[in-house]
Amino acid sequence: MDNAVRNFFIYLSQNKTLNQGAKKWGLRLGAQNVVAGTNIDEMVESVKKLNADGISCTIDNLGEFVFEKEVALAAKEQILNVIEAIHENNLDAHISLKPSQLGLDIDHDFCLNNLTEIVKKAHEYNIFINFDMEDYARLQASFDLLDKFSSTYDNIGTVIQAYFFRAKEDIEKYKNFRLRIVKGAYKEDEAVAYQHKQEIDRNYIELIEWHLLNGTFTSIATHDHLVINHVKDFVQKHNISKDKFEFQMLYGFRVDMQHELVKEGYQFCTYVPFGEDWYGYFMRRLAERPQNLNLLVKQVFNKKTNTLIGVAAAGFLLGRLTKRK
């Protein structure tokens, strides 16, 4: 059943009709509860509120899989503007970006030049840049870009996705980088990735534990209280300082728990997406952990704002019912 539900949300994330509808009707559908605004000014105000509560942020200018140079150049300029906004407003925040948004699928040198401008500007302001990892087809190319910059810049890090067989090899190679560890949210072939939740969960925990013991700084991206409690016990048992790791959650998810962790003295970072291209991002978060839908329905959506999410919920339930027959 887990695979059926996961595949359903991945299918929704790739539906162009729903994606266009989400851009048009997003705010009316309650998208403001899962994205921190559609422009930089709105995002800045959202980040300021989180900072005031002791929460750091990583900012994602939404968009990926770009195949036109003008779109990639516009994304680059937007990210440069975000960097300036972080600096000018003295925000406790850094950048998460996707190489495919900046031309990875267009031309290697074009993408490299775009990234160079971004990483260089961020380095001038001592702002961290996280290279988000995408699907397997773009994985090695993204790591190659990271390698290219690592010889010159020290303000970069990346993401390790637990569902890939190669994840343990990658986490060892990049142990000296600041790493965000996630489960993974794309549909991948069984030749390269674990397909079952139990296998992914097991590898996820093993990767977290290994990097906490051997790495520099670990960002643990999860909404699962069982994982969080496991990490709490693990760091206490191994006397790992709280300044060696942070918990991460998505903007709008488990807000009460975010604040609870801060009160308990843990470092916390909220993943803050903004922009109009939010639909595919959100559907993949549901694919990654379908329980996220329940969290949002409980704390965010009402009868007036459930049209698009209602489609997802109906599909989720249909998948369950179909599987039981």
- Active-site hit among 178, 180, 284, 285: 180
* E runs forming strands in the chain: 56-61, 93-97, 129-131, 156-161, 178-182, 217-221, 245-250, 268-274
Q: Are strands 245-250 and 217-221 parallel, antiparallel or unpaired?
A: parallel
Nearby residues of 142 by Cβ (< 8 Å), 6 or more positions away:
99, 104, 131, 133, 134, 158
Residues 171, 173: Cα–Cα separation, whole Å: 5
At 65, the amino acid letter reads: F
User: Residue for token digits 């919920």?
Assistant: 313
Contact (CB, 8 A) for 130 and 156: yes
Active-site annotation holds for 180 = yes
- Active-site hit among 60, 132, 170, 277: 132
Active-site annotation holds for 324 = no
Residues 245, 173: Cα–Cα separation, whole Å: 19
Active site residues: 132, 180
